[in-house]
A and B are shown apart, each in its own frame.
Chain A
Amino acid sequence: MGVLSGRTIVILEDEYLIALDAEGILVDMGAEVHIATNLPEAEKLAQMDKVDLALLDVNINGEFSFPVAQKFHERKIPIVFASGYELKARAFPGADLGACIAKPYTPERLRKAVVGALDPDGAGEQT
């Protein structure tokens, strides 16, 4: 266990039950998880010393999360967008800052996306 041991992951999700689910999955994988429910919270979390990955919902209370994604990207923190949209089909500015996972996701797909984002070269080596 503990693929994500020692990793700190920020989750931006305004839906409590969804955040709860994601948190559960990532914690099970050994990560330390911080949850932001709105954009200002997420910006704050982006300033934390140690953040290894950001899992960002694209639509937060009707607003796009791309400006926050930019913050993480500046710190070269890998990003995984979670969205109901087909991001690739909708050329959102900023959508290319990270990987993408469609809602609703299964634990396995989330795990793959997160691991792939953390280790772009050797993703899935361990699995």
Chain B
Amino acid sequence: MTDLVATAEDESLSPDRPGLGAHPAQCPVVGVGASAGGLEAFQNFLAAAPVDAGLAYVLVQHLDPNHESMLAELLGRKTRMPVRQITDGMFIKANHVYLIPPNASLAIEQAQLKLTRFSEPRGFRRPIDDFFRSLAVDQGLNAACVVLSGTGGDGSEGLRAVKEAGGLTLAQDTETAKYDGMPKAAIATGLVDRVLPPADMPVEIRNYFDRKEAGGISLPDAADFLIAACQELRRRLGHDFSQYKRGTMLRRIRRRMQVVGTATPDEYLDLLRTSATESELLFRDLLINVTCFFRDPEAFDFLRRETIPELLRGKGAADTVRIWTPGCSSGEEAFSLAILIAEELSRMPLGRPSVQILATDIDEQMLQRARAGSYPHTAVKEVPPELLDRYFHAQEDCYVLNQSVRDMVRFSNHNLIKDPPFSRVDMVACRNLLIYFDANLQQRVIPVFHYALRPRGWLFLGSAENLAGRADLFDTTDNSNKIYRRSGTKRHSISMPTLIDPLAMLQGPDPAQPRAQPNELADMASRRVIERYAPAHVIVNSNNHIVRSSTRTGRYLELAPGAPTTNVAELAKRELRSAVRSVLEAARKRGKRSIKRETEIDIEGQGTVLVDVIADPLSQDEALLVFQDVTTIKRETDIDDDADVFVDPHSDEERARLLEEELDETRSRLRTTVEELETSNEELKSSNEEMMSMNEELQSTNEELATVNEELKSKVDQLGRANSDLQNFIESTQIPTIFLDRDMRIRTFTPATTLLFRFQTQDRGRLLADVSSRVDHGDMEALGREVLRTGEAAEKEFALDSGKECYVLRVLPYRDLVGDIDGVVMVFSDVTKIRQTQADLVRNETLARQRTSEIETLYKTAPVGMALFDRNQRFLKVNEQFAHLTGQTMESLPGAALAEGSPELAERMERPIAEVFEKVREVSNFEASIRTNGSSKRDFLIDFYPYQEEDRVIAVGVVLKDVTELRHLERELRRLMDELQHRVKNTLATVSSIVSQTMNDQIGRTDLVDKLKSRIGALASTHTLLTLQDWRAASLREILDTELAPFDHVERISVDGPAVLVPPKHALCLTLTLHELATNASKYGALSPAGGKLKISWNVSVDSGGQHLQLSWTESGVSGIDPSSAKPSFGSRLIRNAIVHDLQGSCDYDLTPSGLHCTLSCPF
């Protein structure tokens, strides 16, 4: 078993170009090209691309160079892979999509994307080819290319390069392509591996590279496998590939296996056996790049040394050397020959022959490549360097052959099998063409070469080719190099029945058909006669073009140089041409048969032959032209009496004269015609060139337009959606909005405007002023015009319904897409609630300010100390009173700690403040006696309350009342209460004593009651007096007046003394004493009915012991008193003792017969 993984030394699929794919990127690179219709294809492609396939995609599109492309945006929606517009120098990364930017040529070099300016003018640019070519060189096996929708043929050349370098090639199925030009051109190269709809491609590509990644496909013993494969190809296609390089073969087969996805060689051989298509595809793959410069160098060397010098020997300036290379493909071989001939010519003296190399092929695309004479660097590798320098000039990315060489070679489309061969050529070089033909065909082709060649002309075949058994026609010059020479001089006629058929087709259906068929045998005989015995003839139309031809016309007709034609006047041998023209002209002119007798022609191998040329009109247009050899048929025309015209009826002299005249006339006509023709030909040529280039420009413009159109269509869809979004927004918005144009006409409006305007749908286009509204039009329009003028937004507030609704009208400039102002937008905002809220806010603020001011005033004026502390026991706020206690000013405290402000207060207050913070509970009526600010101790009642915000105590307020005075008053009150209680109780005790003492006097019950009443009454009246003076003192005079008032005989009393106030105790004591004195006086003394006089006087003296009161009670003129009989009673004891006892005073009691004389004295 041989593992067929490519080895490092021979990596490329093309052994002659090992440099391919020298810089593979880290992932396979897929080039995707498209033009018109490409957007859709790209979208389908990317939508189907797996995001993790490990591939990088490079998208190349024909873009309008003057427009930003929207492609990235449009494609980015179809795939989750990042889509990047390429910048110069970008590196390729897996699972990314790269897009060519407008107006740049893209290439890949060392896995890096390069942007350059286009070197070609617009219209000649082929960005897809450019990129694919660089992709092939840079990535080789690591590349894949995809040709999608588009017109023209961009991409196919690049695809060829990718394929040659061993990359995968895909083209879009033309059924699915919007424009099938590009895919068709690609498919036409025959090099496309798979034709698929875009959506199927990405998976196919991934599978392809996965199979490659999976490592080498193990093939059985390479030789056996190859033999089997080649046998299969030969069996099916008749081609032998055994001469191919084995490694290349194996790799190409392996690549095919990768493409079709067969795992084992046996599986693939089975496929080859069963599928003609696969054989065909493999065949094509094997054929790739088989033509090149100087293929088989030894053979060319032989040509150079031997054949070409001989070919040119003896040829002078008048000679033309003709070489024919059928199956020239892209022209490398023809140019190789041309170069060798040019080399040889350069060694020749002047007067060199002209050389014409007729290179023909049926593949027009190949011919175009060949005509360009331009080849990539890799293609000219086989050209020896000195020849490369001499005959090529290098351009940016290719080598172009010199004009001198190109002039030598004329490429034309010619089918070796079907078209008439060239003649009189000196050499036929037909290499590697015969191998494609089966033996039968080869045997037919070899005589064609024999026919075309001059005697002893050379035949040059491919190394695998031979004479196909016709050694009778050629001598072998060099067998190994396959060079032969034509043998003999006899020119074999070749039957070319196919020569006319395609030409006849051009003329449309034969009008003669269908014709009546007589008896079959006779018909056969007629045909036999015509084929074998009748003279050679052709049927021509009015333009002298051959419509039909008989056999054996080869003696009289030959293919002229230049483009093949069917004009019989040109096809006829030179000697016959004037005869043909004249008989046809004569026949047409006269409508009768015309004959030109005995024209001499040279026929090789027979010498000079005389020919009669007869033209016989068949119809209005067609005529029969007959060639009759005179030597063989003896003057039959003599008896041909019905011939009407003899072109040659005169004597030789006459004929010569006529001919000369005709010749002169013809010459001058010809000259004019030629001149005219040349002129018009030049004109036509230049017009044609212009047309061509215009056409190409138009084509590419068309493609660009198609691309732009697609992008625009997609954009229009998006705009449609955006428009619909906008419409929905306008319909649904609750904000009244009006769009106006510059003339204040309504463009559109939102439904919410009906709150303010009586809009209806048909109002669009009307002037705003024409629609009835609750809002003043004048204001709106003025504002609108101001905005139009300034371009700045403006606002105005207005009230409706006498202030019940408030709106703000906001007018903004309406700007079109380029930013010009094209009207205004009016937006109405209902601010009724906002205004109400604002008013409320102002009210509340005023209220709050009042409250704050009240609180401040309270703080300032309240007769209590107030302060607010934070958690760190620092002052936040403090009033004058509190500050005063600390001895500091109200301004200096905030921020200071309580302990700094007043250590004394802090000592008592810090604990409760902390407690309030901790327990979130107020502490009230906290009593403290504190010595503040150096003064005496004072009593305080302190409240601590928490100041909360959101359940958290942020400060503690303190209210501190100075209750020192209050406490003092309370004590005073207590004392007063005690005093009062004492006095009341003592008074009751006194009354109690009066009662008991009075009862001791043992008097009558009536007297007892009277005495008690009067004594208690005296006590009560003094109480009354004292009460009137707040128990501070009583007037002595009033006490006397009160005491004496109840008694009769007031006129007997004289009272004299200064006004004096006595203390309560004195008042009570004096009252009791004076009452007893008065009672006694009324019973027994001066106030008794018996009569007398009473004199009461007092004075106050002051000495060192204080004030002293002395009162004397003197009765006189009383009769009937017996001092000795006076009984000691409670009354007299009281008079004598009370003053002494209670007032530490004295009583001088002296009872005389004329009356009592009593002196009371006491300090007070």
Interface residues of A (CB under 8 A from B): 14-21, 24, 35, 37-38, 59, 61-62, 83-85, 90, 102-105
Q: Please name 10 further chain A to chain B contacts, defined as beta carbons within 8 Å, in addition to the given A14-B1065, A17-B990, A102-B985, sorted by A numbering.
A: A16-B1138, A16-B1141, A16-B1142, A17-B989, A17-B993, A21-B992, A21-B993, A21-B996, A84-B986, A103-B988
Given the complex of chains A and B, what is the CA–CA distance between A15 and B982 in angstroms? Answer: 12
Residues of chain B within 8 A (CB-CB) of A20 are 993, 997, 1137
Residues of chain B within 8 A (CB-CB) of A103 are 985-986, 988-989
A82 to nearest B CB, angstroms?
8
Residues of chain A within 8 A (CB-CB) of B988 are 103-104
Is there contact, CB below 8 Å, between B982 and A37? Answer: no
A105 to nearest B CB, angstroms?
8
Q: Which residue of B lies closest to A84 (CB)?
A: B985
Is there contact, CB below 8 Å, between B983 and A84? Answer: yes
- Scan B961-992; emit 1 where CB is below 8 A from any A CB, else 0: 00000000000000000110111111011111
Q: Which residue of B lies closest to A105 (CB)?
A: B989
Is there contact, CB below 8 Å, between B990 and A15? Answer: yes
Given contacts A15-B1142, A37-B1144, contact A85 B997 (CB under 8 A): no
Say which residue of A16, A19, A38, A85 sits within 8 Å of B982 (CB atoms): A85
Q: Which residue of A lies closest to B978 (CB)?
A: A85
Is there contact, CB below 8 Å, between A62 and B986? Answer: no
Is B148's CB within 8 Å of the partner chain A?
A: no
Q: Which residue of A lies closest to B979 (CB)?
A: A62
Is there contact, CB below 8 Å, between B986 and A15? Answer: yes
23 contacts between A and B (CB under 8 A): A14-B1065, A15-B986, A16-B1138, A16-B1142, A17-B989, A17-B990, A17-B997, A17-B1138, A19-B1141, A20-B993, A24-B996, A24-B997, A38-B1144, A59-B979, A59-B982, A83-B982, A83-B985, A84-B985, A85-B978, A85-B981, A85-B982, A103-B986, A103-B989
Given the complex of chains A and B, what is the CA–CA distance between A20 and B1131 in angstroms? Answer: 13
Is there contact, CB below 8 Å, between B985 and A14? Answer: no
Q: How many residues of B contact A (CB 8 A)?
A: 27
A17 to nearest B CB, angstroms?
4
Q: Which residue of A lies closest to B1130 (CB)?
A: A20
Interface residues of B (CB under 8 A from A): 978-979, 981-986, 988-994, 996-997, 1000, 1065, 1069, 1072, 1134, 1137-1138, 1141-1142, 1144
Given the complex of chains A and B, what is the CA–CA distance between A84 and B992 in angstroms? Answer: 14
Q: Which residue of B lies closest to A35 (CB)?
A: B1141
B598 to nearest A CB, angstroms?
185
The winner among A61, A62, A83, A104 for most chain B CB atoms within 10 A is A104
Given the complex of chains A and B, what is the CA–CA distance between A59 and B976 in angstroms? Answer: 13
Given the complex of chains A and B, what is the CA–CA distance between A103 and B990 in angstroms? Answer: 10
Residues of chain A within 8 A (CB-CB) of B996 are 21, 24
By secondary structure, the B interface counts as helix
8 nearest A-B pairs in the assembled complex, by CB-CB distance: A84-B985, A21-B993, A104-B989, A16-B1141, A17-B993, A103-B985, A84-B982, A16-B1138
Say which residue of A16, A90, A104, A105 sits within 8 Å of B1134 (CB atoms): A16
Residues of chain B within 8 A (CB-CB) of A37 are 1141-1142, 1144
Residues of chain A within 8 A (CB-CB) of B1144 are 37-38
Residues of chain A within 8 A (CB-CB) of B1137 are 16, 20
A64 to nearest B CB, angstroms?
10
Is there contact, CB below 8 Å, between B981 and A15? Answer: no
Q: Which residue of B lies closest to A14 (CB)?
A: B1142
Is there contact, CB below 8 Å, between A18 and B986? Answer: yes
Residues of chain B within 8 A (CB-CB) of A62 are 979
B1030 to nearest A CB, angstroms?
16
Q: Which residue of A lies closest to B995 (CB)?
A: A21
Residues of chain A within 8 A (CB-CB) of B978 are 59, 85, 90
Is there contact, CB below 8 Å, between A15 and B989? Answer: yes
A95 to nearest B CB, angstroms?
13
Residues of chain B within 8 A (CB-CB) of A18 are 986, 989-990, 993
Residues of chain A within 8 A (CB-CB) of B1142 are 14-16, 37
Say which residue of A17, A19, A83 sits within 8 Å of B994 (CB atoms): A17
Given the complex of chains A and B, what is the CA–CA distance between A62 and B988 in angstroms? Answer: 18
Given the complex of chains A and B, what is the CA–CA distance between A83 and B988 in angstroms? Answer: 12
Residues of chain B within 8 A (CB-CB) of A14 are 1065, 1142
Given the complex of chains A and B, what is the CA–CA distance between A17 and B1141 in angstroms? Answer: 9
Is there contact, CB below 8 Å, between A17 and B982? Answer: no
A60 to nearest B CB, angstroms?
10
Residues of chain B within 8 A (CB-CB) of A16 are 1069, 1134, 1137-1138, 1141-1142
Residues of chain A within 8 A (CB-CB) of B1141 are 16, 19, 35, 37
The winner among A19, A21, A35, A61 for most chain B CB atoms within 10 A is A21
Residues of chain A within 8 A (CB-CB) of B994 are 17
Residues of chain A within 8 A (CB-CB) of B986 are 15, 18, 84, 103
A66 to nearest B CB, angstroms?
14
A22 to nearest B CB, angstroms?
8
Residues of chain B within 8 A (CB-CB) of A83 are 982, 985
Given the complex of chains A and B, what is the CA–CA distance between A102 and B988 in angstroms? Answer: 11
B59 to nearest A CB, angstroms?
111
Q: Which residue of B lies closest to A25 (CB)?
A: B996
Given the complex of chains A and B, what is the CA–CA distance between A61 and B1063 in angstroms? Answer: 11
Residues of chain B within 8 A (CB-CB) of A38 are 1144
